[in-house]
Structure 1
Amino acid sequence: MPLRRSITAGLSGSIGRGALAGVACIAFSISATAQNGTVAVTGDGTSAATQKPSIGDTLPDTGKAQKKRGKKSIDAGSADTASRDVSGPPTAEQRSIAALVNDEPITGYEIDQRAMMLSGTNIQAQAKANFQAIVKNPKTSERLKEILQETARENQGKSREQIIAIFEQRKKEYGMSLQRRAFESARASALPAMKKQALEELIDDRLKTQEAKRQNVTIEDAQVDMIVKSIADRNKMTIEQFKKQIGGSLEPIKARIRATLSWNEVVKKKFAPLINVSNRDVDKLVASATTANDDIELQLQRIRIAMPAKLEEHGIAARIQEADKIRQKFTGCGSTAQAAMGVTGARFENLGKQRPATIPEPTRTLVLNAANGEMLPPAVNNGAIELWVVCGRDAVKASEVQRNQAEGELKQKEFELMAKRYLKDLREDAHIEYRMDVGSK
């Protein structure tokens, strides 16, 4: 008997590349990418991109910083970030100084704002996992059946095409509500733990901008605004929508962009002449990239059961029962066609090899997670009830990475390594005074 899974094919949305973009699960990264000996700064707002560290970003060594001579740690307590309003004026507690970096203050308000921004940009994986769990929940399947039957009951007298169109719209709205729920639950769980990370990022940003000032590096406001707009555009948002999504203020992300751009310029001036990538290293990376980018093809079958000409509640329920009976008779991929025989309106399709990108969500997630030889539960999609079968999967080699892209990646790694060492030296030489224990609770 196949494993029990939800009836959810047809929920709108996208999990995978661009996952949860419809509800603004934003992946923000600013990285310096070396191309032909230069450093190009990019702001990436797509949720599917794997975030690379910004040049010079390094994991904070807080224990070492706490022990340095001249550094203090005073436990002033901390409120839960999730309970604070960071979109309005700062409270007295938020105006308190949490840390000093070479006598330059970082306030609790800045920490709260940065934590809110981080909670909206670093949770793609958790939001995706939450959505997948919701999709697999049997209650989701039952609710979709209810929506279909309610639509038929509430629209008696309308044509079959009209009822299907109404159902598809309601299904889309339901799918978006599930995505929002997945995103908000991921953010709520991540927010408290983000405060410590926010403080350490702000300390790094202060050190970067201070060094840029010493090196007479300046960044124009127009450069920062352009990157903010590009991130919003990539997530299909207006500036106001993007502002709301990251916590109600653009200042935290603008400060982060400005610090990163200025730091990239400092690092480029100091280390660009020292970067050298050999052709042998490029060849090795190109050769390994084909293995690293392996994809899969799924061997799929499908049974489609047409809806009755007149969409009525009892007729839809009967079709779903027929689909359940087919699933009970299913014993393997060799039995799929036989299981569909004798069922009114049922059509067997041997889909052959299919790339996951060609399959709509959430069916894509379900077939990727299904075992070979498994039939998924009935799913309502495009005016029919569908039963998907996964018969196998094969690895497919991706196309070869271009040499200039490989060279750029190698140069980027060299820049990042040198920049991390540079930032570590700045931290060791800086006077950092912790005045508030932000913790992570």
Structure 2
Amino acid sequence: MTAKRWMLAGLAILVAATVSGGPLAAQTAIKVIVNNKPITTYDINQRASLLRLTGSRGGAKQATEELIDEVLKMQEAERAGIRVTKADVDEAYGQLASRVKLTPARLTQALNQSGVKADTMRQRIQAEIAWGQLLRARFQSEVRISESDVIAALRKQEDKSSDTSMEYRIQPIIFVVPAKTGASGKNQRRRDVDTFRSRFSSCNEAQTLASEFREVVVMPMVTRLETEVPAPLKEALDKTAVGKVTTAQDTSKGLEVYAVCDKREIASNAAARMEVEDELRNKEGEQMSRRYMRELRSRAIIDYR
């Protein structure tokens, strides 16, 4: 579960909301104590008002249980040494404001006009950030998606199984640049790359052409789907015609280019697989989140007044 889940749905209502009456009275009667941490009537009323703005109808009961969960999240985060800074919360608050087309100041004003203090929203953001970090630290290595689960999910989305993907057959070529090479030497290597690219016409002749330059390593040709290459490289490959070479990229080894030996669009469910795997991973993460919270609640001392 992440802060984004509740940041989005329903908050657009906030822009147009006009709730009559002034701010809620600052009632301070203690309603629940969670491991010696009090939750007051004021806290519950504020959270209930926020929930209404975001489309929830659970009222005081839902607000109370959500606040109990947040206390446990923050206490567990503190035990784990996780600290959410004011800057972290400010950034998330700003992102939330931009999603409803407001500045942070205007979001605060809109909340106040609806009887909700900005601190109520900020506390919720802080707890969700801390919880997200806890979940990643504890469960990231445990999330496993089986091939059978992926296949079963794909069968439910047969309309996506016929998607196409771009397949590239490429040949990495490295113009070695020693670490201590000066500016003039680096400039010369760039000129070598430019000459190589202008004369290159076929991957079959890559090794022969490279032999005319010093310290050039021609790697074996490889075949990659678009989902298997970094976005910047995919963009460069898409811009480069077959039989040509991409522009040079600085790497730890020197100047690296890719000869495009072939590229073609093929029937592939790679994109659909990635989407399905993400969905399954999110579901697994949500289940782990619920188990973790049940564990924290089972250990906690929760005193309802």
Contact 1:243–1:249 (8 Å) recurs in 2: yes
**Does residue 213 of structure 1 match 2:78?**
yes
Cα distance change of structure 1 residues 44 and 103 upon mapping to structure 2, 3 Å threshold: closer
Deviation sequence 1:288-322 (CA, Å, 0-9, x none): 24679xxxxxxxxxxxxxxxxxxxxxxxxxxxxxx
Deviation sequence 1:9-64 (CA, Å, 0-9, x none): xxxxxxxxxxxxxxxxxxxxxx44xxxxxxxx646644489xxxxxxxxxxxxxxx
Counterpart of 1:115 in structure 2 is 48
The residue matched to 1:402 in structure 2 has which SS? helix
Contact 1:290–1:400 (8 Å) recurs in 2: no
Cα distance change of structure 1 residues 223 and 43 upon mapping to structure 2, 3 Å threshold: farther
Contact 1:286–1:401 (8 Å) recurs in 2: no
Q: Quick one: which of 91, 94, 105 aligns to 1:226?
A: 91
Q: Quick one: which of 284, 298, 302 aligns to 1:428?
A: 298
Work out the CA distance in 2 between the residues paired with 1:83 and 1:109: 18
Cα distance change of structure 1 residues 219 and 43 upon mapping to structure 2, 3 Å threshold: farther
* Alpha-carbon shift at residue 207 of structure 1 (Å): 0.6
Counterpart of 1:271 in structure 2 is 139
* Alpha-carbon shift at residue 406 of structure 1 (Å): 1.8
Amino acid across the alignment from 1:96: A
Counterpart of 2:38 in structure 1 is 105
The residue matched to 1:233 in structure 2 has which SS? helix
Cα distance change of structure 1 residues 209 and 237 upon mapping to structure 2, 3 Å threshold: same
Amino acid across the alignment from 1:100: I
Contact 2:49–2:116 (8 Å) recurs in 1: no
Greater RCO, 1 or 2 (C-alpha within 8 Å, sep 6+): 1
* Alpha-carbon shift at residue 401 of structure 1 (Å): 6.2
The residue matched to 1:216 in structure 2 has which SS? coil
Counterpart of 2:125 in structure 1 is 257
Q: Quick one: which of 59, 64, 67 aligns to 1:194?
A: 59
Work out the CA distance in 2 between the residues paired with 1:259 and 1:85: 27
Cα distance change of structure 1 residues 273 and 400 upon mapping to structure 2, 3 Å threshold: closer
Work out the CA distance in 2 between the residues paired with 1:84 and 1:290: 53
Cα distance change of structure 1 residues 113 and 401 upon mapping to structure 2, 3 Å threshold: farther
Amino acid across the alignment from 2:98: D
Pairing 1:190-339 to 2, within 5 Å after superposition: 190=57, 193-246=58-111, 247-289=115-157
Cα distance change of structure 1 residues 401 and 117 upon mapping to structure 2, 3 Å threshold: farther
Contact 1:271–1:418 (8 Å) recurs in 2: yes
The residue matched to 2:156 in structure 1 has which SS? helix
Q: Give TM-score scaled by structure 2 length.
A: 0.54
Cα distance change of structure 1 residues 47 and 426 upon mapping to structure 2, 3 Å threshold: closer
Pairing 1:47-86 to 2, within 5 Å after superposition: 47=9, 85-86=22-23
Work out the CA distance in 2 between the residues paired with 1:429 and 1:44: 27
Counterpart of 1:330 in structure 2 is none
The residue matched to 2:101 in structure 1 has which SS? coil
Amino acid across the alignment from 2:95: S
Contact 1:100–1:106 (8 Å) recurs in 2: yes
Larger Rg: 1 or 2? 2
Amino acid across the alignment from 2:297: R
Amino acid across the alignment from 2:47: R
Cα distance change of structure 1 residues 211 and 245 upon mapping to structure 2, 3 Å threshold: same
Work out the CA distance in 2 between the residues paired with 1:425 and 1:232: 34
Contact 2:10–2:53 (8 Å) recurs in 1: no
Contact 2:50–2:116 (8 Å) recurs in 1: no
Work out the CA distance in 1 between the residues paired with 2:60 and 2:132: 25
Deviation sequence 1:327-356 (CA, Å, 0-9, x none): xxxxxxxxxxxxxxxxxxxxxxxxxxxxxx
Work out the number of aligned pairs and report it.
Answer: 187
Q: Which runs of 5+ in 1 are unaligned?
A: 1-30, 33-40, 50-81, 124-189, 293-398, 436-441
* Alpha-carbon shift at residue 108 of structure 1 (Å): 0.9
Work out the CA distance in 1 between the residues paired with 2:21 and 2:54: 19
Work out the CA distance in 1 between the residues paired with 2:80 and 2:33: 21
Q: Quick one: which of 399, 409, 417 aligns to 2:279?
A: 409
* Alpha-carbon shift at residue 97 of structure 1 (Å): 0.9
Counterpart of 1:394 in structure 2 is none
Pairing 1:159-178 to 2, within 5 Å after superposition: none
Amino acid across the alignment from 2:30: I
Cα distance change of structure 1 residues 245 and 408 upon mapping to structure 2, 3 Å threshold: same
Work out the CA distance in 2 between the residues paired with 1:400 and 1:273: 23
State percent identity of aligned pairs: 33
